[in-house]
Amino acid sequence: MKRLLIITLCITLFSCAQAQRWKAYRYEVDYGLGATNFLGELGGANQIGTNYFKDLEFSQTRLAANVGLRYKINEYLASKFNFFYGKVAGNDRLTQEYFRKYRNLSFKSNIYELSVNLEASFMKEQVGHRYRLRGIRGQRGFEMYTYAFMGVGAFYFNPKANLGGTWYALQPLGTEGQGIIASRKPYSRLQLCVPVGFGFKYTIDRRWGVGLEYGIRKTWTDYIDDVSTTYYDNDAIRKAHGDVSADLADRSDGGKSQSDKSRPEITGSGQQRGDPRDHDSYMFAILSINYKLVTGRNNLPKF
């Protein structure tokens, strides 16, 4: 009986210590590599442009990386500061839809994002293993931790296109008549975004873990690919911004890729070049390595 009481007391004390252990490791850094992709006007499925994943072009997936610092508010909530880097691209030659392929536009851009997310989970994260007393059976905690997140951030992009072997930044060129008339102002390459997604973390030991996170970014710009509204008069673009701008504003190939005759009316002034009703978005999928930092007495991490 005495032995049973001692064992029960030890388990109780150990459980209490485990319940507070997360406070000793409130901070966590993670480093990740993965992939990014883009949803916008250029490229996409073999049909008229559609929304979201129906128009995803997997061949345009590019490299991504991130570094982050997570702070546990309690056992179910955490906030995380992120820096993401990725590349996005699109190319009308990858689609068989007639009008998009005739348009023949393409771009690439680096994405630099700073964001802060709030993470929420329905389960407690495992911090080390539970009930490791020799000879004592007990339940182990969940090594797998699942969460959803939403946040706010800012990102910088700079769409470029290739002409004659040279890559040109498109925003200064005013390819849709920006800067020529007051109603078409140059767009900002610094924009806000709202990251939304979910993630999984697997605990290896008290300090180390691995994670997988996927998130899509809602934005308030339609110019990540430099395409949004209608064609502007190409002669006016050439006069205001030069030959390079005019050549990149209308890159239609005269129907050569369609084995069809030229249809210049498709890219004439006022004709549809993009769809301003739907903003562009981009996404990250990141595989990360996580490392917990000891929390100091002042509630700051010890590096």
List, as one string, the DSSP characters of 96-109: --HHHHHH--EEEE
Q: Evaluate if residue 81 carries a pLDDT over 90.
A: yes
pLDDT in tens, 257-299: 554 556 777 889 999 999 898 899 999 999 999 999 887 677 6
Reported as a pLDDT band with limits 50, 70 and 90, residue 46 is low
pLDDT in tens, 116-162: 999 999 888 766 554 444 554 544 445 788 999 999 999 999 999 99
Distances, alpha carbon 175 to alpha carbons 171, 221, 225, 241, in Å: 8, 16, 11, 9
pTM for the predicted model, two decimal places:
0.84
The identity of residue 177, as a single letter, is: G
The identity of residue 110, as a single letter, is: N
Single out the residue of 148, 103, 130 nearest to residue 255, CA to CA.
103
Task: Tell me the mean pLDDT in the region 231-240.
Answer: 95
Helix (H/G/I), strand (E/B), else coil: 85: strand
Distances, alpha carbon 256 to alpha carbons 60, 74, 104, 140, 262, in Å: 24, 61, 11, 65, 8
For the CA atoms of the chain, what is the radius of gyration? 26
CA–CA separation, 235 and 267 (whole Å): 13
CA–CA separation, 138 and 130 (whole Å): 8
Name the E strands within 158-189.
Answer: 160-163, 166-169
Residue with tokens 């699109």: 90
Measured in degrees and rounded to the nearest 5, phi and psi for residue 204 equal: -90, -50
Residue 17 has a pLDDT of: 41
| All structural domains of the chain | 2-297 (2.40.160.20)
Please work out, in degrees rounded to the nearest 5, the angle formed at the alpha carbon of residue 222 by the alpha carbons of 220 and 225.
Answer: 130
